[in-house]
Structure 1
Amino acid sequence: MAVFLRSPAALYLLAAIFAAASLLVLDVRTLIPPDEGRYAEMAREMFISGDWVTTRLNGIKYFEKPPLHAWMSAAAFSLFGLGEWQARLWNGLCGIGGVLMVAHTGRRVFGQRAGLYAALVLGSMLFWAAGSQFNSLDLPVAAIMSLALCALLIAQRDDATPAQRRIWMLVCWAAMALSVLAKGLIGVVLPAGVLAIYIVASGDRAILRRLHPISGFTLFMAIALPWFVLVAARNPEQPHFFFIHEHWNRFFLKTHHREGPWYYFLVLMLPASLPWLPLLPKALTTARKRVAGQFQAAQLLLVWTVFILAFFSYSSSKLPGYMLPVFPAMALLAGAYLERAPRSLAVLASVLLAVIGVVGLACLPFIPGLDTMLLWIAFVAALLAGLLAWLAESRGLRTGMVAALAVGGWLLTQLAMASHEPFGRNKAGLQAALAIRAELRAETPVYSVGTYEQSMTFYMGHTVIPVAYEDELSFGLVQEPWRGIASLDEFHARWRAAAARGEPQYAIMRSDLYFAARRLGLPMRERASAANIVVVSAP
């Protein structure tokens, strides 16, 4: 296999197979709330309205995040129509692009085989493989930040020509600008922090002269600034909410109720980096070594990994996806280390994947609500891949071992995610949404009582009027209070009046509020139900 993969044609074929497989699995699951439904609906509304400046959720101003993800998904809807795989397409392309960029960077910085190994590691890491198929902001921002990292590594190589250095540094600056449009100020704060620590740790102060700061910063501002100027001109309230509430408060305060212990991400790293976990500690510690008088690529990757994990560990807001930017750096270090890693660690990684398969099969009877056949295939694939990797390593076939682990890890992740579909369909309220979708017109009121079901608005193709509910819609409702109903009493009065006139109306009601409304004699007919909600219409 090692001889086969030395051929450029073979590498292109491998990349094409990976890209095709990654795109094909985009359409196997329902959009799961809250994240997948939220970002699909924001893009749908942008596509329908044609307003690409003021971002909205459920027709209400929503400024928690910048617009890049909505732009890309709305563009996918424009090209390919509305649908689940279209909503996930941007994530899928970013996942593929991140793997290919790591392959190219690894080849240029550490050697051809290291680049191949790094790509196989990243493409099969559980969190990266899963994030590439899940419609949220975290994977795209991680991929774009990894583009900035990879461009910096290539630009700063000791053998880079002045033209190569300038071009790749401009790519780095552009990627940081896109990171800001993808997630906010972390797109520049994190790379700047990494660079500062690297300079102190390595003593490589000469790098400051090689950053092309004037042309780079000009390009950065030309990409990142226009939207912020436009959105603030149309919505003067946006800058304070975005920069203070969504950046300062989210990092330093616990107002978002997403706090966790300092070791939150360290614990998550155990499943997130499977099946490569046994190799990573040694790959990271090896990167501490310095070579005097040279650009310290491995040390920069180590600083990137440690600083980003420390940054989000200190933050008062913690979510699993925040750690995704570290995986491309870890994959590059693992790819470089795998060429010389001792057989014992390679065997341990193989055994770990096989054990996961065995334990998963043993626990299968106790896992409710999922597609057990897909889970059975997933765990069998993990077991067989682990055994195949062990066999390849025992025969001295390191590339075969890496390839077997990568295929096994990728299949385990994708099949496990697909097995979630029975639960996901119910949680998304898919059938409940489809039960009334054909009856809805643009002017038909649909109330959402005590809840906001993030995926149902997308599947209905219709926004709702929130009743006695604010949560993440609270800021937008303060700006546009007429888009919601503050109290249940007001909703009951409006519903009774419309029912008396015989006007069509619908409501998605939290289950307890539905039964309370029945006791009050509210005229309504149950149409469908899903997890903790009931859909009703006027009788």
Structure 2
Amino acid sequence: MTTGHGREWHQSRKLGWILFILFLTVWFYMLGARVLVPTDEGRYAEMAREMVFSHDWVTTRLNGIKYFEKPPLQTWMNAITFELFGLGEWQARLWTGLCGLLGIGLVAHTGRRVFNRRIGLYAALVLGSSFFWAGLGHINTLDMGLAGMMTLTLCGLLLSQRSDAGTAENRNWMLICWAGMALAVLSKGLIGIVLPGAVLVLYTLVSSDWAIWKRLHLGKGLCLFFLITTPWFVLVSLKNPEFLHFFFIHEHLQRFTSKIHHRAGPWYYFFPILLLGIIPWLGVLVQSLWHGRRDQDQGYSRNGFQPRKMLLVWAAFIFIFFSISGSKLPSYILPIFPAVALLIACYLDKASYRAVIGCAALLAIPCAVSLPFIARIPEMAKDGFSQPLIEAHVPWIYAAAIIGLLGGLFAMRFARRYKEVSIAVLALTAFLAGQLLILGHEKQGAYSAGVAYVPMLQQEIKPDTALFMVGLYEQSLPFYLRRTMTLVEHADEMEFGLGQEPQLWIPKVDAFAVLWRADQAAGKKDIAFIEPDIYLRLQKKGLPMRVLGQDPRRVIVANDMLPALLPTPEKQETH
């Protein structure tokens, strides 16, 4: 570590290892620190659990129903993790966490080899501390897996095309690039190759770097791509003839060109997500993107390849692509963050200490301003039930704000003399503050998942107990209960699969009520998770239901009206 202005610490092995070990400790601890929150976390954990149980590694299922919305790479990885380490939260998030770390490691190595050592360090600090990347690295969702594989694609391309890459290096890194695209396709579909392909074409047009096409190893690369992707697509199509139309037409063409998935948003939908997600580096975001237009003044394009322009085209095109899509979710733009991190690192490498002060101020000032208002956050609760859950989050928000404030003030105070130290402190404090915000959400997440009912339900449920979900689908409880359930009048995302196997559900509540009464008469125990409004309707109809648990999201009932729990005439007179 340095002690004076202008001296560098990025070559300090001791300090580097301390930061690295601290970062990894927090990163891996957070993988298992929270319950699996619906919808995505419960869904993808349950799909992997069912894969382990069924031993069917071709046809992916959710709640026992064919589920072809996405390819199987993450389900495979989660299932392998469950096979090796058992079922649990950190196991369900391990693949996601490793993909997040892979992206950080790749931008560090790429920044060092393509630009210089300091840029590699800065890129890792920027990406690892960006709120969006660090946050989604701890959520079991497909987009981090996709982003990790697309980062492999991007970094493989950058490393293969750098001016000092030998023939073997060019070939090997390009094959890694092609493998990254193949794994991205197996992660989330055709965007794994469509987006990088479009980026390459646009880059060629804006840079006039036509020679790059001679260095892509198209023949070997395409062979490797199809070798990785083809087997599963062939096998799943042979076993499920309906797969091809649903996957390629419904899940790709119609998702992009229409609002069929009810995930529409305005054209500016992703702007606030990018601005908040890149914190604490918002103060240099625009400058970094602007300076990405040119490489010549940096001496990085001796062989005609312009890496910063490639990064800018990657980030801009993917951002615009999803902005004009008819289907939008916040995590869709996650693959642009590694490119943005490298551009920010390039800018910070040449920028004065004032750039660090700007970033620190945009972290510290909002934290300071928010402190008087944090105590009022519980007033935003929708109902009295959720208010104490939000109140439990308040101390964590205070802690995050204070850490962000102190880290920002430190960086502002010492940026002039210790620019690199200030960058590292800013990254570390922002990372810790972000993780505290996520950790503090645990009680709200546990309520959404319904895990408080699990111990009671494990006592109630017997091997032959039938489980129903009436008017809703609990995304996390099937994983925690280790059971699939019969859907009633709520197909939701499983509509296609139920269309192929309609015997797996009950389309109408009235038919469910008939079955419920028949099972009760036969002495067969049923348990149902019912949407509250439907519960009131069934209660008015006199359906026998013993309430096991109830909250604003669900009512859990059994059909065994135990005599000991029913009011006797004597008890009624007493009351």
TM-score, with length taken from structure 2: 0.92
Q: 1:301 is matched with which residue?
A: 311
- Structure 1 stretch 361-370 or stretch 198-207: which is displaced more? 361-370
Does residue 1:521 correspond to 2:555, yes or no? no
CA distance in 2 between counterparts of 1:32 and 1:105 reads 34
Query: Per-residue deviation at 1:487?
Result: 0.7
Q: Secondary structure at the match of 2:529?
A: strand
Query: Per-residue deviation at 1:26?
Result: 1.0
Q: Secondary structure at the match of 1:345?
A: helix
Q: 1:507 is matched with which residue?
A: 528
Query: Per-residue deviation at 1:127?
Result: 0.5
CA distance in 2 between counterparts of 1:356 and 1:446 reads 48
Counting only pairs closer than 5 Å after superposition, residues 265-304 of structure 1 correspond to structure 2 as 265-291=270-296, 294-304=304-314
Q: 1:322 is matched with which residue?
A: 332
Task: Read off the aligned partner of 2:277 and give its amino acid letter.
Answer: A
RMSD, aligned CA: 1.3
Task: Read off the aligned partner of 1:354 and give its amino acid letter.
Answer: A
CA distance in 2 between counterparts of 1:17 and 1:96 reads 14
Does residue 1:137 correspond to 2:146, yes or no? no
Query: Per-residue deviation at 1:265?
Result: 1.0
CA distance in 1 between counterparts of 2:45 and 2:161 reads 38
Q: Secondary structure at the match of 1:527?
A: strand
CA pair 180-5 structure 1, distance change in 2 beyond 3 A: same
Task: Read off the aligned partner of 2:400 and give its amino acid letter.
Answer: A
CA contact 1:432–1:530 (8 Å) conserved in 2: no
Q: 1:65 is matched with which residue?
A: 70
CA distance in 1 between counterparts of 2:269 and 2:184 reads 24
Does residue 1:362 correspond to 2:383, yes or no? no
Task: Calculate percent identity across the aligned residue pairs.
Answer: 48
Q: Secondary structure at the match of 2:350?
A: coil
Q: 1:390 is matched with which residue?
A: 412
CA distance in 1 between counterparts of 2:463 and 2:345 reads 53
CA distance in 1 between counterparts of 2:158 and 2:463 reads 52
Q: Secondary structure at the match of 1:5?
A: coil
Does residue 1:254 correspond to 2:286, yes or no? no
Q: 1:14 is matched with which residue?
A: 19
CA distance in 1 between counterparts of 2:235 and 2:550 reads 42
Query: Per-residue deviation at 1:151?
Result: 0.7
CA contact 1:308–1:323 (8 Å) conserved in 2: yes
- Structure 1 stretch 259-268 or stretch 500-509: which is displaced more? 259-268
Task: Read off the aligned partner of 1:261 and give its amino acid letter.
Answer: P
Task: Read off the aligned partner of 1:116 and give its amino acid letter.
Answer: L
Task: Read off the aligned partner of 1:177 and give its amino acid letter.
Answer: A
Q: Secondary structure at the match of 2:293?
A: coil
CA contact 1:429–1:531 (8 Å) conserved in 2: no
CA contact 1:280–1:334 (8 Å) conserved in 2: yes
CA distance in 2 between counterparts of 1:392 and 1:118 reads 21
Match of 2:435 among 414, 423, 426: 414
CA contact 1:427–1:530 (8 Å) conserved in 2: no
Q: 1:47 is matched with which residue?
A: 52
Counting only pairs closer than 5 Å after superposition, residues 16-165 of structure 1 correspond to structure 2 as 16-165=21-170
CA contact 2:9–2:420 (8 Å) conserved in 1: no
Q: Secondary structure at the match of 1:160?
A: coil
Which digits, 9 at most, give the CA deviation of each residue in 1:308-333, with x for residues without a partner?
00111111001100010000000001
CA contact 1:105–1:153 (8 Å) conserved in 2: yes
CA distance in 2 between counterparts of 1:8 and 1:189 reads 40
Q: Secondary structure at the match of 1:394?
A: coil
Query: Per-residue deviation at 1:17?
Result: 2.9
CA distance in 2 between counterparts of 1:225 and 1:439 reads 45
CA contact 2:185–2:191 (8 Å) conserved in 1: yes
Q: Secondary structure at the match of 1:236?
A: coil
CA distance in 2 between counterparts of 1:257 and 1:79 reads 38
Q: List alignment gaps of at least 5 residues for structure 2.
A: 3-7, 379-389, 562-575
Query: Per-residue deviation at 1:442?
Result: 4.4
Counting only pairs closer than 5 Å after superposition, residues 182-201 of structure 1 correspond to structure 2 as 182-201=187-206
CA pair 43-360 structure 1, distance change in 2 beyond 3 A: farther
CA distance in 2 between counterparts of 1:14 and 1:378 reads 19
Q: 2:567 is matched with which residue?
A: none
Q: 1:466 is matched with which residue?
A: 487
Query: Per-residue deviation at 1:8?
Result: 4.1
Query: Per-residue deviation at 1:115?
Result: 0.4
Does residue 1:487 correspond to 2:508, yes or no? yes
Q: 2:180 is matched with which residue?
A: 175
CA contact 1:177–1:221 (8 Å) conserved in 2: yes
CA distance in 2 between counterparts of 1:193 and 1:437 reads 51
CA distance in 2 between counterparts of 1:203 and 1:8 reads 41
Q: List alignment gaps of at least 5 residues for structure 1.
A: none
Q: Secondary structure at the match of 1:51?
A: coil
CA pair 82-34 structure 1, distance change in 2 beyond 3 A: same
Does residue 1:348 correspond to 2:353, yes or no? no
Task: Read off the aligned partner of 1:498 and give its amino acid letter.
Answer: D
Query: Per-residue deviation at 1:294?
Result: 2.7
Query: Per-residue deviation at 1:13?
Result: 4.5
Q: 2:400 is matched with which residue?
A: 378
CA contact 2:254–2:260 (8 Å) conserved in 1: yes
- Structure 1 stretch 368-377 or stretch 158-167: which is displaced more? 368-377
